[in-house]
């Protein structure tokens, strides 16, 4: 047995064990991307660097056998920095979007591409579920949203953007028409209660998601009907029954709406004592007017940008109360976010900002890349819709125009996960032109996107291990090295036995099975 120390813990392992395995054996997790148990180590990504405390040198823990008396550090500032540096270098040449530009542009951060794919498959129920993860009022927004997402849509560069807003309206309307509209899974009640002042888009959304998370939401609405500013919109655009029906879906989750309840300064103080948190969603605060003793700015109530916490503890503010806007989708998004923030606060007793995930992004497509993206979509003109929205056929056809800009492995991608963990900045070392995106798509099998590859060689080792006739190999060397099938054979031919195996093992989204959906 060999005795060594990792992060001040003494460990005894068999000779020949790697430092990484030794750490693993006692629950010290050292990240890695290029190492895969069952294949030989390759020492490529260098994410697993650790420090030898005796000489200060760094080495790759995945490939180095333990030595008697070693003293290893895996978690000090310098080691963490080494991981960040390696990640930032890898990211500097990583051409791919974790999430599609439309989703990033959407103020509610709705998973648009996933909705599109489900619609394309004709699975409208699942599509609606996906929409409702982020948007509490799809039928309403489907009628009034100015659709910033469509400005971000990549398809716009090729011909016209995908008609996202109408697609969302379609699944929303289909759901309402179905007779048994979708009801989300509700968490067990926590016993916590939250007061929501105002039943506009922000308040409704906040209440809906709080309720889903198990916290009793009570909306106080000064008017006789719920909807806030939505009620100001002409019925030729937004019929009243659509508002009623969507509000009914929210009430169906258990949210209480108290109509004709005007909250003044006194009753506000009361709410603070009776409820575990208060969400102010009162709509636009006119300049110079006061709002429940809360500090205000020129535009409205002053609140932390990422947590919506106001100057008073446990009081949050969302929607137009922060700043007047015609973007209902922004208010709906904030309602969802504040629910998560409050939920986290209840669980941890600490208020922190809305969790933002790392997102790799690369901006506009080059013209030569259009054709690559069109491989993932159907080549049809933007579908027309009349006043009643899309027909089923038109919706499916339109959804198929979506080019799948988002990554196929957004959840399993280790690069994304680690970049998030170590707060790597993608742009930091982007000092020269990026690679062009290429997509090799085999619709019954694998999709290969070389510009997302980190050259870890796991797939090369696996295809060799499984004795593929062609397999993958390294082509070229240095910065320009790429992984490809020898003799320009197709990816399909290269991976006759191992497509699913390499797709699973790939630490990024470079290799994935065609139909995979990780976010369902």
Residue numbers at the binding site for other proteins (CB under 8 A): 41-47, 49, 57-60, 63-65, 67, 81-82, 85-86, 89-90, 92-93, 428-429, 431-432, 454-455, 460, 463-464, 468-481, 486-487
**Structure-token pair, residue 313:** 């503890």
C-alpha 245/C-alpha 251 separation (Å) is: 10
Helix, coil or strand: residue 443: coil
- Judged by beta carbon, residue 65 or residue 214, the one nearer other proteins is 65
User: Whole-number minimum distance, CB 512 to other proteins, in Å?
Assistant: 22
User: Whole-number minimum distance, CB 99 to other proteins, in Å?
Assistant: 24
User: Whole-number minimum distance, CB 58 to other proteins, in Å?
Assistant: 5
User: Whole-number minimum distance, CB 455 to other proteins, in Å?
Assistant: 7
User: Whole-number minimum distance, CB 74 to other proteins, in Å?
Assistant: 14
User: Whole-number minimum distance, CB 54 to other proteins, in Å?
Assistant: 15
First to last CA, the chain: 46
- Judged by beta carbon, residue 411 or residue 469, the one nearer other proteins is 469
Helix, coil or strand: residue 132: helix
C-alpha 128/C-alpha 244 separation (Å) is: 18
Could you identify the residue written with the tokens 């974790």? 98
Pick the closest to residue 106 from 152, 137, 170 (CA basis). 152
Contact 341, 367 (CB under 8 A): no
User: Whole-number minimum distance, CB 437 to other proteins, in Å?
Assistant: 18
C-alpha 281/C-alpha 322 separation (Å) is: 9
C-alpha 508/C-alpha 520 separation (Å) is: 19
Mode of pairing for the β-strands spanning 315-317 and 440-441: unpaired
User: Whole-number minimum distance, CB 481 to other proteins, in Å?
Assistant: 4
Q: Cβ of 352: how many Cβ atoms within 10 Å?
A: 13
- Judged by beta carbon, residue 402 or residue 415, the one nearer other proteins is 415
Contact 34, 44 (CB under 8 A): yes
What sign results for the dihedral spanned by CA atoms 180, 186, 188, 192? negative
User: Whole-number minimum distance, CB 48 to other proteins, in Å?
Assistant: 11
Could you identify the residue written with the tokens 């719920």? 226
- Judged by beta carbon, residue 260 or residue 423, the one nearer other proteins is 423
Contact 277, 344 (CB under 8 A): no
Helix, coil or strand: residue 118: helix
- Judged by beta carbon, residue 46 or residue 176, the one nearer other proteins is 46
Query: 395: which strand partners?
Result: none
Contact 435, 455 (CB under 8 A): no
């Amino acid at each position: 047995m060999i005795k060594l120390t990792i992060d001040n813990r003494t460990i005894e392992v068999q000779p020949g064990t790697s430092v990484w395995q030794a750490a693993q054996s006692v629950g010290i997790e050292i990240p890695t991307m290029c190492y895969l148990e069952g294949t030989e180590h390759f020492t490529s990504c260098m994410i697993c660097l650790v420090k030898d405390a005796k000489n200060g040198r760094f080495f790759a823990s995945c490939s180095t056998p333990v030595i008697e008396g070693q003293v290893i550090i895996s978690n000090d500032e310098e080691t963490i920095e080494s991981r960040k540096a390696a990640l930032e270098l890898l990211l500097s040449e990583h051409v791919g979007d974790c999430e599609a530009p439309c989703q990033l542009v959407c103020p509610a951060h709705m998973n648009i591409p996933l909705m599109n794919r489900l619609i394309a498959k004709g699975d409208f129920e699942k599509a609606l579920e996906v929409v409702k993860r982020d948007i509490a009022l799809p039928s309403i927004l489907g009628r009034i949203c100015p659709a910033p997402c469509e400005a971000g849509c990549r398809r716009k560069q090729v011909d016209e953007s995908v008609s996202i807003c109408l697609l969302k309206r379609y699944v929303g309307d289909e759901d309402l028409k179905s007779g048994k509209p979708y009801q989300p899974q509700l968490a067990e009640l926590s016993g916590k209660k939250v007061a929501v002042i105002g039943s506009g888009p922000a308040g409704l959304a906040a209440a809906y998601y709080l309720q889903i998370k198990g916290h009793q939401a009570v909306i106080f609405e000064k008017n006789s009907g719920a909807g806030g500013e939505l009620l100001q919109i002409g019925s030729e655009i937004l019929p009243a029954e659509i508002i009623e029906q969507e509000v009914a879906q929210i009430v169906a989750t258990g949210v209480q709406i108290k109509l004709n309840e005007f909250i003044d300064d006194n009753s506000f103080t009361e709410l603070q004592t009776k409820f575990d948190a208060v969400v102010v969603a009162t709509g636009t605060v006119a300049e110079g007017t006061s709002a429940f003793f809360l500090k205000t700015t020129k535009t409205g109530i002053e609140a932390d940008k990422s947590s919506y916490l106001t100057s008073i503890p446990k009081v949050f503010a969302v929607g137009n109360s922060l700043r007047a806007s015609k973007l209902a989708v922004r208010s709906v998004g904030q309602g969802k976010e504040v629910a998560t923030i409050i939920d986290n606060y209840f669980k941890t007793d600490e208020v922190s900002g809305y969790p933002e995930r790392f997102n790799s992004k690369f901006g506009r497509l080059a013209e030569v890349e259009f054709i690559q993206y069109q491989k993932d979509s159907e080549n049809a003109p933007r579908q027309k819709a009349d006043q009643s929205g899309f027909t089923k056929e038109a919706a499916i056809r339109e959804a198929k125009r979506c080019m799948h800009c988002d990554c196929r492995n957004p959840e399993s991608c280790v690069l994304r996960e680690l970049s998030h963990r170590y707060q790597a900045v993608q742009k930091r070392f982007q000092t020269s032109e990026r690679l062009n995106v290429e997509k090799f798509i085999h619709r019954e099998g694998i999709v290969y996107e070389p510009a997302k590859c980190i050259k870890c060689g796991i797939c090369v080792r696996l295809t060799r291990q499984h004795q593929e006739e062609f397999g993958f190999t390294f082509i070229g060397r240095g910065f320009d090295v790429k992984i490809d099938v020898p003799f320009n054979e197709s990816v399909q031919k290269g991976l006759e036995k191992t497509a699913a195996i390499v797709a699973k093992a790939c630490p990024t989204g470079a290799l994935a099975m065609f139909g995979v959906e990780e976010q369902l």
